[in-house]
Amino acid sequence: MPRLLILVAIAALAACTTYGSVGLESRKIASLYSVSPQIQWNRYTDGDLEVWTVDGPLLDSLQFTSALGDGDSLYEIEGQEQMPRFRGNMSESEVMEFVVDSFAAVGAQKVEPTGLAPASFGQRPGFRFDLAYQSGDGLDKLGSVLGTLNDGKLYLIIYTGAAQYYYPKYKQAVEALFASIKI
């Protein structure tokens, strides 16, 4: 094999995402809370994000943020500094705006939030809202976001999936997972 191809192959392997599996037992997240997974998920990490999926992240994805503090972004794009940044004094409405703008920054289109309302995040007060948007290649997607603000830190759980089939398929399990949060 030519040397260049070997190097390309090694680089490709290094870039591969490593998946693990998530068992049904309770799992600790972001050193703050635990959830009961409800179903078998596959997991990997993307920077500080922990991502769970069953059929692949383009079809269904459950993201757990670490504790986001002042100046942190939800997503990172290499070489792009100008990302939406969380600020500790944000209201829940502004957090929703931060999530919507973060989705747009990584290519989501026509992102429409709905239904921002108070919700329980385990024993803590939290909030939730829903999203409808399109992926860059035009696939209709839906999302549900549950979060809490705690001492200037933001914790989010973001469930997204293809509007047809995949989002509804795991919605019930995700709702049960939301309800299982223990601080």
Partner 1 sequence: MTSGATWPALMMALLACAGCAPASRSELPDAPTGQRPALATDEAGLWMVMDRVEQDIRTSGRRVSDPALNAYVQGVLCNVAPDYCRDLRIYVLESADFNASIAPNGFVVVFTGALLRCRNEAQLAYLLAHEVTHYQRRHTLQQWRDIRSTVDALLFPEIALSVAGLGPAATLAELGAIGSILQFSREQEREADAFGLDRVAAAGYDPSESVDVWTNLMAEKKAAKDDEPFIFFATHPPNAERAAALREQAAALTASRNAGIDGVDEYRNATLAFRGGWLRDELRRREYDRTQVVLDQLTSDGVRLGEVAFYRGELYRLRGDKGDDQRAIEAYRIALTSEGAPPETHRGLAEVYRHGGDAKQARAEFDEYLRLKPDAPDRTMIETYLRTSE
Binding site for partner 1 (CB under 8 A): 46-47, 57, 61, 63, 75-85, 87, 89, 91-94, 96, 101, 103-110, 112-118, 127, 129, 133-139, 160
If the CB atoms of residues 63 and 66 are measured against partner 1, the closer one turns out to be: 63
If the CB atoms of residues 23 and 56 are measured against partner 1, the closer one turns out to be: 56
If the CB atoms of residues 22 and 108 are measured against partner 1, the closer one turns out to be: 108
SS3 percent helix, strand, coil of the chain, rounded to 5, is 20, 40, 35
If the CB atoms of residues 39 and 104 are measured against partner 1, the closer one turns out to be: 104
Alpha carbon 102 to its chain centroid, in Å, reads 11
Q: Measuring CA to CA, which residue among 145, 149, 179 is closest to residue 161?
A: 145
> Least distance from C-beta 116 to partner 1, angstroms?
4
* Cβ partners under 8 Å of residue 111, min gap 6: 100, 103, 104, 131, 132, 133
- Residue in this structure with the two tokens 């969380």, named with its chain if needed: 86
If the CB atoms of residues 34 and 134 are measured against partner 1, the closer one turns out to be: 134
> Least distance from C-beta 106 to partner 1, angstroms?
5
> Least distance from C-beta 143 to partner 1, angstroms?
10
**Quick one: CA torsion of 25, 26, 29, 31, rounded to 10 degrees?**
-120
Distance CA 34, CA 17 (A): 24
> Least distance from C-beta 93 to partner 1, angstroms?
4
> Least distance from C-beta 57 to partner 1, angstroms?
7
